[in-house]
Amino acid sequence: MFWSCSYSSLSDEDAKKVYDSDRTNDIHMEIITLAMKIKNLAKEGIEINLDPTCVALFKQAHDEAWVIKQRSKTEIAGHLSRGKW
């Protein structure tokens, strides 16, 4: 059996949106990866417990990295819900 399909090409504007969406999703994934690295390093610094000032800084970095990660995850979910994948 032979299947035939007809493909309609995307306009230049729509093709750019597809490319840009793919790229921004990749950027968000890299941000998530980096945030997790910061979170893990900060956790190590907290465990070393050198002095209260260091521990406070590491706790702040840990918490901020989590927020950054969650923001990027939320944005990716938004992209997917709008067909930007």
Model confidence over 20-46: pLDDT tens digits? 888 999 999 999 999 999 999 999 999
pTM for the full predicted model: 0.76
**Alpha-carbon gap, residue 32 to 17, rounded angstroms:** 22
More confident residue, 43 or 81: 43
The torsion of the CA quartet 68, 70, 32, 59, rounded to 10 degrees, works out to 50
